[in-house]
Homo-oligomer: A and B are copies of this chain.
C-alpha cells in the first residue's frame, strides 16, 4: 500500500467512503466524557500525566472505532500529546497502527519547520518512526525546510501538507503581508491539496467550503476536532460514541453535497 502515493490513497478513500471528513484528535481532559474519566481515578496512577494518558488512550481508541467507516483520516494534534510528556508521545505513536488497521489515514499535525539534518530528523521521526501517512509542515524557513519532508514523503509514498493560510485572526499579520509585487505572502507558498481546518466548532459550514472543492469534488478534505470528539456535550442523553458518530455522518453528507456529489 505504501508504494502508492499519499494523494492517490486519499483520493481512493474519499471515493470509497464518499466522505471528505477528517477527524481531529485534540484530546482535552476537561471535555472527555465522564464515564471515561470516572474509570481512571488518580489513586490508580503514579502521576496526573499517566492518568490523563490512560483516559486519552481509552477515549481516542473508542473514537477510532466510531468514525472509521465515515471518516477518511484522523489528524493527530501532537501538542496535546506532548503536553503529557514522554507518556503522551508514546500514546501518539501507539494510535497510528490501530487507526491504519481500521482503514483511516493518519495525518500528524506537527507543524514542524527546521532546516537540513534537523528537518530530516523530524521527517524520520514522524513519517518513518511514528509511521504516519502525512505530516503538516511550517514553511517560514523556506523551501529547504520543506524539501526534506517532501523528499522522504515521496520515497515512502506519504504526504506533506504545507501551512499556507491559517484560520486564526492574527495569521494576517505575516501571511497576508503585501509583497512588493502586490500579492499577499501566503499566495507565494506552493499550492498543495487542501486540508481545511475549522469545520464546526471554528465556525465554517459546508456551504462556505463549496468553492474549495475542485471540479471532481476531491481537491480538499475538511477537519473537525472538537465538534466531533465532544459532540455529546450538545446532545443531552445521547451516548457519547453515538453523538460523535451522528456528527461525522452529518458532516460527511453536508460536505459531499457541497462538493456537488450529493
Contact = CB atoms under 8 A, between A and B. Distances in A.
Interface in A55-112: 77, 79-80, 82-90, 93, 111-112
Nearest to A124: B83
A174 interface: yes
Contacts of A171: 115, 141-142
A26 B120 CA distance: 13
Contact of A125 (B79, B140, B167): B79
Interface string A144-158: 110000000000000
Per assembly, the copies of the chain total: 2
Contacts of A125: 79, 82-85, 88
A117 interface: yes
A175 B111 contact: no
A141 B166 contact: yes
Nearest to A77: B118
Given A26-B117, A83-B124, A85-B129, 14 more contacts: A79-B122, A80-B121, A82-B125, A83-B129, A86-B90, A88-B125, A111-B138, A113-B140, A139-B140, A139-B174, A141-B163, A142-B171, A143-B173, A185-B185
Contacts of A113: 111, 113, 138, 140
A177 B186 CA distance: 11
A116 interface: yes
A130 B170 contact: no
Contacts of A168: 115-116, 141-142, 144-145
Name A's interface SS.
helix
Contacts of A86: 86-87, 89-90, 93
A172 B145 CA distance: 12
A86 B87 CA distance: 7
15 contacts: A49-B129, A80-B118, A83-B124, A85-B89, A111-B112, A111-B113, A113-B113, A115-B166, A115-B171, A140-B175, A141-B166, A142-B170, A142-B171, A174-B185, A185-B185
